Structure 1
Amino acid sequence: MLHYGKRTLYGKIQRLPIRFFRHKNRTSYHIISVHFWTQPAKQSTYTTSKEISPKLFQNSLTVTNTQFLSKTKTKTKIAMSTLKIQPTAFALSSSVRQLGFFNLKLPRNCVASSNHFSRYGTRRALTVSMSTTSSTPLEVCVKSSTTAPNKPGDCPFCQRVLLTLEEKHLPYDLKLVDLAHKPDWFLKLNPGGKVPVIKLNEKWISDSDVIAQALEEKYPDPPLGTPPEKASVGSKIFSTFIGFLKSKDPSDGTEKALISELSSFNNHIKDNGPYVNGKEVSAVDLSLAPKLYHLEIALGHYKKWSVPDSLPHVKSYMKAIFSRDSFIKTRAQPEDVIAGWRPKVLG
């Protein structure tokens, strides 16, 4: 039951005739129809649709009717109403009649499917599915910053794990570890002393590759998997970057090797971009992005070198991935990156 001004809108949480779906390569949804009634005896139906972007996440599913249509012979009335549905671990639905254009604020663990619609007079059933997400924050240990308090350090593998958690909208408890003085509590749970490590299913797991795969299997929505034929795209950029960064001989071919790898990546993004797997980020982007961030900062500082203008798609890719909220939130301080590479460059 939904209160609307002085009137009451009736409905059932068991059946919700709204449908929307997520395209394979885009994060937008179509609302097919919403039905509600002001009196059980007076029922009429209008259907419409609106494409929206699910960037706003709350703890409940919110349907806001911004153009409520109440048609009579002489006029159409415009009004407002809001319906909230608390998320659960199973499919949700409700009944409502009479409809307008709606905005949807989806919970983080909400996914759905749809079919096509007709504009007027067709009743459709909406299914909202809730994926198995973590209500308890996941414990994750990463390197701490040496230049700023309460900030992640310069480990690109740690950032990859944090990016995965952010892009999957999973809550996590960030534990920062000073690798120069590893605390006893950290060595007790992780005798190897390496980061990143995360606690999944009551076990501590290390290695960013293993962690990313485990998170994908346990929390499949939103999917971040990369097709096998694209999984190795850009995989040699990091090693050639290190070779060039450490090089003392301008003619040893290390710069040429790096440009060759970047050129291959540039061609791939040109044909497949804006990200490695198309319009949406995937696991390979979350692995590559922190390494390109290190490349940009370290080579700029130690060699006064930057990605050539002849590789515009690499530059646009870096700009796009570096500007994502998940990346901004988890990136290392430039001073940490510079300090982290200093021993390799000067040593």
Structure 2
Amino acid sequence: MSTAKITPLATALSATIKHLSLRPRLLFATRISAPGIGRRRPRNLGVAMCSKLSEPLEVCAKESLTTPNKLGDCPFTQRVLLTLEEKHLPYDLKLVDLKNKPEWFLNISPEGKVPLIKLDEKWIPDSDVITQALEEKFPEPPLATPPEKATVKDPSDGTEQALLTELTAFNDYLKENGPFINGKVISAADLSLAPKLYHLEIALGHYKKWSIPDSLSYLKSYMKTIFSMDSFVKTRAQTQDVIEGWRSKVEG
């Protein structure tokens, strides 16, 4: 086996695993707004439905670098969106051009980072903080992961062998504790890990012609189940054409 470098994918996956009854759910439609608040009316690409919130939660996310008015490909944003979907919370997604950050965005995020969400009239950055805040404010359905199930293993030298070791450890964990990280119910740890596994599958398949071995059957089953969830299919669809555009740009 080669030892081709795969950082930062292996490192991100490893960190997520370390800080680590599915039923189809009726998901809320999402309203997506193009950048611009106040100076011009945002372009809405959908209509948010009502839930226990009187108004959709405002979420700022990276706009695609290749496809205007499309969500950028970011596992941290996808984690936040998956959390919102699983908690049945409507949201208004505002896309931000990070190469040309608008003034309104820098006013609420001086560091210019996404994802960003508005809760209780305050803008909160960082996917870890956001998902924790959502769990505390909207505890149903619960997504918290017990501490004893939140840590697996952490090799981080960024080589192919290290990644395979990491994935094998996770496969063994699922064999004994699955089908999800928290057993029979999906949790925040799954919503953090799944987007990274998806990005890993796409990037390594494209650049290295590498795929997860069939011997890791519990991991492959886990990925198949997660990737087929309604919430994941919905958030993935928002970035799928962006991924295709990225591939075309790289190959062209």
TM bin (shorter chain): 0.7 to 0.9
Structure that is richer in strand per residue: 1
- Per the TM alignment, residue 149 of structure 1 is displaced from its structure 2 partner at its CA by 3.9
For 1:310, the equivalent position in structure 2 comes to 215
Tell me, in whole angstroms, the C-alpha distance in 2 between the residues paired with 1:156 and 1:306. Answer: 19
Shift of 1:329: 1.3
C-alpha separation in 2, matches of 1:300 and 1:260: 18
The Cα of 1:321 is off from its aligned counterpart by 0.6
Residues 24 and 230, structure 2, Cα contact 8 Å, conserved in 1: no
Aligned to 2:127: 208
| 1:22-37 paired onto structure 2 within 5 Å | 26=21
Q: 1:159, 1:279 → 2: CA distance?
A: 22
Q: Which residue of 1 aligns with 2:59?
A: 140
In the other structure, the counterpart of 2:178 is 273
Among 225, 228, 242, the alignment partner of 1:323 is 228
Q: Is the 8 A contact 1:160 1:286 kept in 2?
A: yes
Alpha-carbon distance in structure 2 between the residues aligned to 1:316 and 1:263: 13
CA separation of 1:339/1:232 partners in 2, compared to 1, >3 Å: closer, same or farther? farther
- Between the aligned partners of 1:179 and 1:56, the Cα distance in structure 2 is 32
Which deviations, in whole Å up to 9, do the C-alpha atoms of 1:22-66 show, x marking residues without a partner? xxxx47xxxxxxxxxxxxxxxxxxxxxxxxx784589xxxxxxxx
Partner of 2:109: 190
Query: CA 1:206–1:259 in 2, change beyond 3 Å: closer, same or farther?
Result: same
Q: Conserved in 2, the CA contact under 8 Å of 1:143 and 1:195?
A: yes
Unaligned runs of 5+ in 2: 1-20, 29-49
Other-structure match for 2:13: none
Q: What's the CA shift for 1:304?
A: 0.5
Q: How does 1:118-137 map to 2 (within 5 A)?
A: 133-137=52-56
Please tell me whether residue 163 in structure 1 is matched to residue 89 in structure 2.
no
Higher relative contact order (CA 8 A, sep 6+): 2
- Report the alpha carbon displacement of residue 335 of structure 1 after superposing the two structures with TM: 4.9
Contact 2:61 2:71 in 1 (8 A): yes
Q: CA deviation at 1:325?
A: 1.1
The normalised TM-score by structure 1 is 0.55
Task: Report if the CA contact (8 A) 1:301-1:338 is conserved.
Answer: no
Which among 222, 239, 254 is matched to residue 141 of structure 2? 222
Counterpart position of 1:10: none
Once the 2 structures are TM-superposed, how far is the Cα of residue 232 of structure 1 from its aligned partner?
2.5
Query: CA shift at 1:299, angstroms?
Result: 0.3
Superimposed CA distance per residue, residues 86-109 of structure 1 (whole angstroms, 9 cap, x where no aligned partner): xxxxxxxxxxxxxxxxxxxxxx97
Match of 1:255 among 142, 155, 160: 160
Offset at 1:230?
Answer: 1.2
Contact 2:61 2:94 in 1 (8 A): yes
Distance in 2 (alpha carbons) for counterparts of 1:212 and 1:177: 20
2:95 to 152, 171, 176: 176
Q: Secondary structure at 2:130's aligned position in 1?
A: helix
Partner letter of residue 232 of structure 1?
T
Matched, 1:336 2:243: yes
Structure of greater Rg: 1
Q: Which residue of 1 aligns with 2:201?
A: 296
Deviation, 1:135, is 2.2
Q: CA deviation at 1:182?
A: 1.2
Amino acid at match of 2:65: T
For 1:192, what is the secondary structure of its paired residue? coil
Counterpart code for 1:294 = H
